[in-house]
Structure 1
Amino acid sequence: MRILSHEIRKVFTLKMFALLIVISAIIYQLFISFYFQYFPNGRPFLDYYRISVQMLKDYGTHMDETEFLHFQQQYKEQVEEANHYLQSNKGFVDAGITTYEDFRNTVFNSDLEALRSDAYNKSRVDIFYELQAREGLIQKYENKETDKLRAYAYPSPIKEEQAARIEQLVNNESITAIFPHLVFENYNTLITYVAVLVVLSVSFMISPMFIKDRKNHVIDLQYTAKTGRPLFKKKIAAAMVSSCLITTAQLLCFFLLYSANHVSMFFNSNINSVFNYGAYWYDLTFIQYIVLTVVALYVLGMIVTLLTLLISSLAPNYITIIGAQVPLLFILLKLLLDVLIGDSINIRYPQYVQPLLYLSLAAAAVIMVIVRWKKEQVADIKG
C-alpha cells in the first residue's frame, strides 16, 4: 500500500497538478463555458424550455391525447392574444396585418421589417416567440412516427431494425414523454467535451510514469532486485487509481457547473420523446442516460490509461510518447468519441456497436499491457 500511494503521489506532483488545472481551465473557457452561459441559447429556444417546464407541471412526464387537446387550446388562446395585440397596434393595422394568420403569411420587406422587429424584440411581448415554439411542439406531437422515420431516411433508406424500433416506440408511452431536444443536445455536447478533457487529462498525467524512472535509471536498479520487477503491477494499479481520481474530479467540476442549467425537472423524462430528435435503442430516462454516459466515461478513461501506460513503458523519451499518442488520441477523439459517448445508443448505429467497441478496446489494452508485463519479468539489464 505504501508503494502504491508513493506511485500515486508521483503522478500528482505539484508541477503536473498545476499544469492540469491550467489546461482544464483553458479548455473549459474555450469550449465548454459557452454551453453553460448561453443555455437556452436565444429565442425561441428559451420559449421551448419555458413551455416544456410548464408542460411538466401541467401534465407530468408524459402528455396523453386529452392533455394534448388542452395544450392545443392554450395555443388557440394565445393566438387570440396575438390578434388583440396586432389589432391594437396602429402600425400593423395600417399595414393590413390584423390577425396572427396575417402576421405569419406576410412577407416582411424593408418597409415592414421595423414592425416585425418591434413585435419580436422591442415591445417586450413574448407571445410571438411562444406561439412559434408551441407550433413546433404541436407539429412534432401530431407527426410522431413520420418525424422519427424521416430522421433516418437519409442519406440511405431506413433499415429494417431502425423502422421496427421506431414502431415499438410509437406504440408505447415513451414517445409522448415531455423532454425537449435542446436539453438533450446541450448535455450531449457538454459531456462530449468533458470526455475530450478527461482523455487529454489522463493521457497527460499518466504519460511520465515510466519515463521519469527510466530517465533516472530507477528501472535498471529495480531489475536487480527480486521485489523490483513486480513494481510494474503497482504502477498499473497506481495509474488506474489516478485515472479514477482525475475523471471523478473533472466530472464533479462539470456537474457543479451543469446544475446551473436547471434541467433536473427533466430527469425522469424518457429520452425517446417525440420532442427530442432521434430514437434510441433503450427506454432510458434522462437521469439514467446521464449515469450511462458517466460509466462509459470511466471505462474510456481506464482504456486510455492502459494504452498510455503501454506507450510510456516502451518509449525512450517524451518526444516518442507524444508521437505515439497523436494517432491514438486522433482515433479516440475524432473517429470514435461520437459512438463511444456523444451519440452512443442512437439507432443510427447498430445496437451492438458501442458495447463491441468498448469490449474490443478494453481487451486490446489489457492484452497488450499483460504481454508487456510478462516481458518485464524476463527483461535483461542493458549496460
Structure 2
Amino acid sequence: MEIKKCFTWPIIGLLIVMNVLLYSLLVEFHLDNFPNGRPSSERFEIELDMVEKYGEVIDDGEIAEVQREYGKIVEKFEAILKVHPLSQAAGVETIEQYREGERDDEAFNKMRQAFWETDDFDLMWWIQAYEGVFENYRYKDRIFYGEYYRSAQEKERIDELLENESYQYYGSSVVENFITIAENVTIIILFNLMILLSPLFLRDRVNQMVPLQYSSKHGRKIFATKWWAGLALTLFVTTFLIAAYGLLYMGNGTSPFFFMQLYHMDNINYWYDVTFGQYIISVVIGMYLISAIFGMLVIACSSLSGNYLIQMATQIVLIGLFIWLVIPMALGRLFQTYHLPWIVPGIYVGLITLVLLLFYRLLRRERVREIT
C-alpha cells in the first residue's frame, strides 16, 4: 500500500515527462551517435573486425595484415586522384600530395571541395581510421607515464603491467562511451527516486495523518514499513531503468569487446585485471549501491522535513553532491589508478555506514516520540 501511494497520476505524468526529457538530454546522443563522428565510426568497424580475427592481443604479423588492407584503400584513392580532372589540374596524384597541398592554391582548394561533396572522400576517412590504428599500435605502451606517478602504488601497478606486456592495442571509445552512459543513467535514476520517494513521509505530515497513525502501537510500525517500502521501490526503479537502458546499449554492437581486458582497450590505468564484461557488472553493482544510498537519504529527508519547500531545497543539495562528487568518483573512476585503491571502496563504505546509522537513529527516535 505504501508503494501504491507513491504512484499517483500526477507523479506518473511527471515521471514520464521527466524521463523523456532526461533521455533526450543525457543518453540519446551517446546511444544514437556511437561511434561519434568520422573517422571514429570507420575505426570502430576496423577494430571490431580485428577483435573477431585476432582477439585482444595483436602482434606484428597481424598488424601487417591490417596494413595490407590499408594499402588497398590507399591504392584505390590514388587511382581516383590520377583520373579525376580536378586533381589532375591541381597536380595531385598521391595521398601525400593530397595532404601536403598548398591551402592557398585555388586549383587545390577546388579539388578538395569537390572531393568533400562526393562519396570518394569516404576513402579518406578510412585511410585516417587505419592510420589511427597503426599509431595506437606503435605507441601501445603510451598509457604508462614514465617517471610521472600519482603514488607509489600506481608505480608498482604500472611496473606490473609493463612486465606482463599488458599494452593498449585498441582505442578507448568503447569504454568511454559505456561509462558516460552509465553515469548519465545513474543521474536519471536519482531524479526518478527523488520524485517518487520525497512524499513518502512528508505527505502524511502535511495531511495531519501522523497523530492518527501514532495513536496505536501498530501505527508506530508504519515508520519502518515506509523505509522498507522505499527500499523496495528504489530497487524496482533501479532495476527497471538499468534493464531498459541496458537493452538500448546492446544495440551499440560492443559485445565482442566484453571478453577483453580493460588495459587492452583503454588508455587509463586500472588497479585490477578485469575484462570489459566484468567492468560492466561492477559498474552496475555500483549503480545499485549509489541508487540505494541516495534513496535512503531521500527517505530520511522526507521523514525530517516539515514542508515541501524544505524538502525541495534539501533534495537539490543532495542530488547536486551526488552528481558532481559521488558519481564521478565512485562510478566514473571505478578501479582507476587516478585515486588510491582504497578511496572508492571507502566512499561506498562511508555512505552505507551513514545511511545505516541514520536509519537506526531515526527508528529509535520514532519509538519514543511524543505526539501532541
Give the TM-score normalised by structure 1.
0.90
**What residue ranges of structure 2 are gaps of 5+ in the alignment?**
none
What secondary structure is seen at the aligned counterpart in 1 of 2:251?
A: helix
Aligned residue-pair number: 371
- Equivalent AA in structure 1 for residue 334 of structure 2: S
1:263 aligns with 2:258: no
Q: Report what 2:293 is aligned to.
A: 303
Q: Report what 2:124 is aligned to.
A: 128
- Equivalent AA in structure 2 for residue 298 of structure 1: Y
Q: Report what 1:349 is aligned to.
A: 339
- Counterpart CA distance in 1 for 2:43 and 2:145 is 22
Off by >4 Å, runs of 4+ in structure 1: 150-153
Which deviates the most, 80-89 or 245-254? 80-89
- Counterpart CA distance in 1 for 2:47 and 2:261 is 14
1:233 aligns with 2:224: yes
- Counterpart CA distance in 1 for 2:62 and 2:168 is 11
Deviation at 1:173, TM superposition (A): 6.0
Q: Report what 1:283 is aligned to.
A: 273
- Counterpart CA distance in 2 for 1:80 and 1:265 is 30
What secondary structure is seen at the aligned counterpart in 2 of 1:301?
A: helix
Q: Is the 1:63–1:176 Cα contact (8 Å) retained in structure 2?
A: no
Q: Report what 1:222 is aligned to.
A: 213
- Counterpart CA distance in 2 for 1:94 and 1:226 is 94
- Equivalent AA in structure 2 for residue 50 of structure 1: E
- Equivalent AA in structure 2 for residue 327 of structure 1: V
Residue of structure 2 aligned with 1:253, choices 234, 244, 248: 244
- Counterpart CA distance in 1 for 2:228 and 2:105 is 68
Distance 1:181 1:319, change over 3 A: same
Q: Report what 1:61 is aligned to.
A: 56
- Equivalent AA in structure 1 for residue 110 of structure 2: A
- Equivalent AA in structure 2 for residue 91 of structure 1: L
- Equivalent AA in structure 2 for residue 58 of structure 1: K
1:381 aligns with 2:368: no
Residue of structure 1 aligned with 2:158, choices 154, 162, 166: 166
- Counterpart CA distance in 1 for 2:269 and 2:69 is 28
- Equivalent AA in structure 2 for residue 144 of structure 1: K
1:95 aligns with 2:95: no
Distance 1:336 1:109, change over 3 A: farther
| 1:41-120 to 2 correspondences below 5 Å | 41-109=36-104, 111=106, 112-120=108-116
What secondary structure is seen at the aligned counterpart in 1 of 2:143?
A: helix
- Counterpart CA distance in 2 for 1:175 and 1:381 is 66
CA RMSD of aligned residues (A): 2.2
Residue of structure 2 aligned with 1:18, choices 13, 19, 24: 13
- Counterpart CA distance in 1 for 2:147 and 2:16 is 41
- Counterpart CA distance in 2 for 1:151 and 1:33 is 38
What secondary structure is seen at the aligned counterpart in 2 of 1:148?
A: coil
Which deviates the most, 85-94 or 230-239? 85-94
Distance 1:270 1:329, change over 3 A: same
Deviation at 1:285, TM superposition (A): 1.9
Deviation at 1:107, TM superposition (A): 4.2
What secondary structure is seen at the aligned counterpart in 1 of 2:220?
A: coil
Deviation at 1:214, TM superposition (A): 1.2
Deviation at 1:148, TM superposition (A): 0.8
1:148 aligns with 2:138: no
1:197 aligns with 2:188: yes
Deviation at 1:121, TM superposition (A): 4.7
Q: Is the 1:152–1:158 Cα contact (8 Å) retained in structure 2?
A: no
- Counterpart CA distance in 1 for 2:113 and 2:143 is 34
Deviation at 1:297, TM superposition (A): 0.6
Q: Report what 2:352 is aligned to.
A: 362
Q: Is the 2:74–2:127 Cα contact (8 Å) retained in structure 1?
A: yes
- Counterpart CA distance in 1 for 2:207 and 2:146 is 58
Q: Is the 1:27–1:197 Cα contact (8 Å) retained in structure 2?
A: yes
- Equivalent AA in structure 2 for residue 281 of structure 1: W
- Counterpart CA distance in 1 for 2:304 and 2:283 is 32
Residue of structure 2 aligned with 1:339, choices 329, 339, 344: 329
- Equivalent AA in structure 2 for residue 345 of structure 1: F
Q: Is the 2:77–2:120 Cα contact (8 Å) retained in structure 1?
A: no
- Counterpart CA distance in 1 for 2:183 and 2:31 is 14
Report the identity percentage. 28
